[in-house]
Amino acid sequence: MAEAVETLDGWYMLHDFRQVDWTAFKKASTEEREQAISELNHLMASWQDVEGEKQGSFGFYTVIGHKADLLFLNVRPTMEELTELETALNKTKMAEYFTQPYSYVSVVELSTYMAQGKDPETDPEIQARLKPILPKWNHVCFYPMDKRRQGDDNWYMMSKEERVKQMYQHGMTGRKYAGKVRQIITGSQGLDDWEWGVTLFAHDTLQFKKLIYEMRFDEVSARFADFGSFYIGHRKEREELERIMHV
């Protein structure tokens, strides 16, 4: 009989994608634009303060392609905090020029397939992974995914031993990218439309392609993974907001 593997769950994560209505923003007066930028800047500064106090984390990215222009990535101990900060963003002047083409809600998850008998409550490495400070690496890649439930390719009907074997192989492929790609896996069963969110960080965007391509050949991805849309962003400092929004 298949059995669920225990998960360790940490901080919650909101991927908040926004698109800018440049036409409307260009029509705004200089004062209105300055006010909108300064207000958003203050809000982002408050999110950075939360990271400084180790009560969450924040990343700001510009997004390439038609799917979005900006990504506000926030991590917090509770989902309520994420709802509140999303509302705070919606109330800003800048939000009058934003639409929200996509968002994703999930919680940082470590599965215990590779459990090493450590106490998750006290082990500093596990605690740091459950309550992550987002890496200050140049690029981010986000996509949601499911594990397939179709005919013979049903992840949820497989024995735990077989799943451990496949996850081990997955981990070995991932480890080849140490120093090049960092991953935060978030669980979203019951929280959003897919089962997991995959958030990757890299210094070089090409490493996303290399890792994801290589993983496609691991049985767990080849047989069992279904993917949603992919989003690629570039990390920006808060101080760059003015330049990014300059019209």
Among 154, 169, 212, 223, binds ligand VOV (CB under 6 A): 212
Q: Is 168 a catalytic residue?
A: no
Residues facing 57 on adjacent strands:
75
CA distances to 15, 110, 164 from 10, in Å: 16, 8, 22
Site residues for ligand VOV, 182-201, by CB under 6 A, read 183, 185, 196, 198, 200
User: Cα torsion at 112, 155, 190, 197 (round to 10°)?
Assistant: 70
Instruction: Please tell me whether residue 127 binds ligand VOV under the rule CB under 6 A.
Output: no
Within 13 Å and on the Cβ side, how many CA atoms surround 242?
6
159 belongs to an annotated ligand binding site: no
**Alpha-carbon gap, residue 229 to 25, rounded angstroms:** 28
* Sites for ligand VOV among residues 62-101 (CB under 6 A): none
Cβ nearer to ligand VOV, comparing 133 with 247: 133
Comparison of 40 and 232: residue with beta carbon closer to ligand VOV: 232
- Out of 117, 175, 179, 190, name the contact with ligand VOV by CB under 6 A: 175
Residue 145, marked binder: yes
54: left (phi over 0), alpha (psi -120 to 50) or beta: left
- Size (the chain), residues: 247
3-state secondary structure of 56: coil
- Verify binding: residue 210, ligand VOV, rule CB under 6 A: no
Q: How far apart are the first and last CA of the chain?
A: 60
Catalytic residue among 61, 97, 104, 143: 143
Residue positions forming the annotated binding site for Fe-coproporphyrin III: 129, 143-147, 170, 183, 221
Instruction: Provide the annotated active-site residues.
Output: 143
Binding site for ligand VOV (CB under 6 A): 110-111, 113-114, 145, 167, 170-171, 174-175, 177, 181, 183, 185, 196, 198, 200, 211-212, 215, 221, 225
